Amino acid sequence: MDRAKRRAQLERVDSIRRRSNPVQNHVIDELQYGKLTRREFLRRGSLLGLSFPVMGVILSACGPDTAGTTTTGAVGATTTTGAGGGPSTTVSAGPMTVRVAVNQLAGAIDPVLINDEARLALYGQTAQYLVFSDTELNAVPVLAESWEPNAEGDVWTFQLNPNATFHDGSPVTAEDVAATFNGPLPEGNAGSAYGTFGFSAGNAAAIDESTVEFQLDQPNGSFPFFVSSDNYNAAILPASFWENYSEGSYEESFPGSGPWIMESYDQGVSATYVKNEDYWGDNSAQPARMEVTFFSDDAAAVTAFQEGRIDVIHSISFAAADSLVGDENAIIQNISTAQHRQVYFDTSAPPFDDARVRQAVALSLERPVLLEGLLGGFGVVGNDHPIWEGYPMFDPGVETQRAVDLDQARQLLSDAGFPDGFTAPLDAVAFNEVEGLAQLIQQSAAQIGVNLEVGVYDTGTYYADYWLAAQGSMGIVNYGHRGVPHVYLAAPLISEGTWNASHYANPDYDALFAQFNAELDLDAQRDLAGQIQTLLNEDVPYAVPYFLDFISVTSADFEGLVTTGMGHFDILNARFSG
């Protein structure tokens, strides 16, 4: 590169620095000094409000690698090039109709009450978020064009995309955003996210038509993920909808700003979408129609796929996907995620109020065998904390992977006063491989004299009667993927956590999480995450045997399915190759 071009690049970076706040400049410093990789810079910069074009300029001038990187955009958004490109579509035309299999919904599509993968997948076709949490753990702009925190991280300001409109043609405004977050969301599934990220209803304010400000109860270094697709319930709907909201009212018209419009909906049976011809973004490659069929089990979806009635199975268990191995018409695709099963212990009552007992049960689990036997290797082993190795704040150097050690487990039980073992319940929700996991945990624990009485219950019964009400028992619950681990570390673990099935109460942990939650600097986050990993691995309020891949299936002639670990899916650039 000649000197003049180099000087011009550096002048552009200086100009960017003058417009950036101290937190953003710190991230640029870390890139210049070699403390961040290109991928880490893109992720961290996007989180703190640096746009992808701006980061492309910085990488060209300062980064260790100037090659282009493609980052998957939002459901309802276009593909975005990380190093300086604007929105672009990758396929010129889509098929007339795409037929998609989705798991049976757990209830009505209601923006306050959605808490399952299937309803989330449908909601995200018509409704959109300020920010999209993609498979690379980037915060990608959608309805928000840009954002930034103040120096303390307790005020975050978002600028809206001026082109964004709802299906009726009205603009998406700051009043709509404020109404969405100040409304009834905390009364439903979003309550845990509100507490985790330090936001109280009423603290979102419209500064002007396109600027919204969030005042937090305490600093938070990852707040954009609160207003992102990671928060099932945070899609932006018109203020007028929230003024008249009642449970089930969303299904009267399915309002939103997305590229699909609901044409027909038969609850529990099917849904049909048509292309939004007036979509505010670029959906030129979008298929004309999408027909969704709901299936109560994977086997029925597989049969429909094999009979040619389905083009895409949005989400499928390993066991069902395995039945399609060798089928020349089936393409199985998987992505690594932070989704995991939590095997919790009631730490408030004997026998699991003694950490040695919890450690003993954890030492009886042969994790690689569980992963291979239950998931066919589609995942990675866990180490009894929820900080997935794919997170940039994961610290790989602070702990040794827990492995099976039956002798040590028996000694721990003896030291805890249970030389002859004990009997306890193990309750589990009927979901994918969870029943098999419960049975294998039962067999593993039996080797050290622990008799676990397994009960498997449907979703409604389990969450109503067993989950948070556990007394002296164990249980298994699923936690879906998220772009940052904050909800995992708060809701099921802090003393007043809304999902604290372990009844875990540790003031040292609470203080450590509070520090982690408020931290904006990645190095400091990683140091605190390492301390959390060590503490939870030793204390074992719950075991994490593995993290799961997200698995989908398409027909061999189908291209263009994009999924996320949360369960969102995008077919805007879909086509059939035949």
pLDDT in the model for residue 189: 86
Identify residue 206 by its one-letter amino acid code.
Answer: A
C-alpha dist (Å) from residue 425 to 208, 346, 432: 56, 11, 20
141 occurs within a structural domain: yes
- Picking from 46, 68, 90, the residue at the C-terminal end of a domain is 68
C-alpha dist (Å) from residue 14 to 3, 7, 53: 16, 10, 15
197 and 55 in a common domain: no
Cα separation of 56 and 67, whole Å?
10
List of residues 6+ apart from 69 with CB closer than 8 A: 38, 39, 42, 81, 82, 83
Q: Is the pLDDT of residue 434 over 90?
A: yes
Question: Which domain CATH number covers 410?
Answer: 3.10.105.10
For residue 44, the SS3 value is helix
pLDDT band (50, 70, 90) for residue 460:
confident
Q: How many CB atoms lie within 10 A of CB 273?
A: 25
Q: Comparing 95 with 245, which gets the higher pLDDT? A: 245
133 occurs within a structural domain: yes
Q: How many CB atoms lie within 10 A of CB 71?
A: 19
User: How many residues in the chain?
Assistant: 578
pLDDT exceeding 70 applies to what percent of the chain? 86
pLDDT tens track for 367-387: 999 999 999 999 999 999 999
Question: Which domain CATH number covers 192?
Answer: 3.90.76.10
284 occurs within a structural domain: no
pLDDT in the model for residue 25: 72
pLDDT tens track for 257-316: 999 999 999 998 999 999 999 999 999 999 999 999 999 889 999 999 999 999 999 999
244 and 134 in a common domain: yes
Cα separation of 5 and 542, whole Å?
56
Query: How many domains does the chain contain in total?
Result: 3
511 and 376 in a common domain: yes
555 occurs within a structural domain: no
Packing angle of the helix pair 507-518, 522-539 (nearest 10 deg)? 160
542 and 442 in a common domain: yes
What is the SS3 assignment for 513-527? HHHHHHCCCHHHHHH
pLDDT in the model for residue 176: 98
Name the nearest CA neighbour of 334 among 348, 309, 315, 359. 315
Cα separation of 562 and 77, whole Å?
12
Q: Is the pLDDT of residue 67 over 50?
A: no
**CA 280, 284, 287, 289: dihedral to nearest 10 degrees?**
40
User: Which pair of structure tokens corresponds to residue 548?
Assistant: 């799961």
pLDDT in the model for residue 571: 95
Cα separation of 18 and 271, whole Å?
50
524 and 409 in a common domain: yes
pLDDT in the model for residue 463: 87
Residues forming a β-bridge with 476: 343, 428
For residue 491, the SS3 value is coil
User: Could you tell me if 491 and 498 are in contact, meaning their C-beta atoms sit under 8 angstroms apart?
Assistant: yes
pLDDT in the model for residue 92: 39
175 occurs within a structural domain: yes
pLDDT band (50, 70, 90) for residue 499:
very high
Q: Count H helices, E strands: the chain?
A: 18, 25
135 and 53 in a common domain: no
82 occurs within a structural domain: no
Mean pLDDT of 440-458: 97
144 and 10 in a common domain: no
pLDDT exceeding 90 applies to what percent of the chain? 74
Q: Structural domain of residue 474, as residue ranges?
A: 336-549
pLDDT band (50, 70, 90) for residue 130:
very high
pLDDT band (50, 70, 90) for residue 13:
low
Mean pLDDT of 513-536: 95
Q: How many CB atoms lie within 10 A of CB 328?
A: 6
64 occurs within a structural domain: yes
139 and 62 in a common domain: no
Name the nearest CA neighbour of 309 among 291, 323, 327, 288. 291
358 and 237 in a common domain: no
Burial of 252 by CB count in 10 Å (0-12 exposed, 13-18 middle, 19+ buried)? Answer: exposed
Query: What distance, in Å, lies between the first and last C-alpha atoms of the chain?
Result: 45
228 occurs within a structural domain: yes
369 and 504 in a common domain: yes
Q: What is the pLDDT of the chain when averaged over all its residues?
A: 88
Mean pLDDT of 218-246: 95
- Picking from 194, 224, 251, the residue at the C-terminal end of a domain is 251
- Picking from 68, 85, 110, the residue at the C-terminal end of a domain is 68
pLDDT in the model for residue 56: 66
DSSP state of 413: H
pLDDT band (50, 70, 90) for residue 98:
very high
pLDDT in the model for residue 577: 86
168 and 60 in a common domain: no
498 and 350 in a common domain: yes
Identify residue 233 by its one-letter amino acid code.
Answer: N
Q: Is the pLDDT of residue 1 over 80?
A: no
pLDDT tens track for 16-45: 676 666 667 766 777 766 767 776 676 667
Helix (H) or strand (E) holding 240: helix 239-243
pLDDT tens track for 71-87: 333 333 333 222 222 23
Q: Is the pLDDT of residue 496 over 60?
A: yes
Mean pLDDT of 209-216: 98
Beta strand extents in 122-269 (DSSP E only)? 131-133, 139-141, 144-149, 155-160, 199-208, 211-216, 260-266
Q: Give me the sign of the Cα torsion angle 436, 440, 441, 442.
A: positive
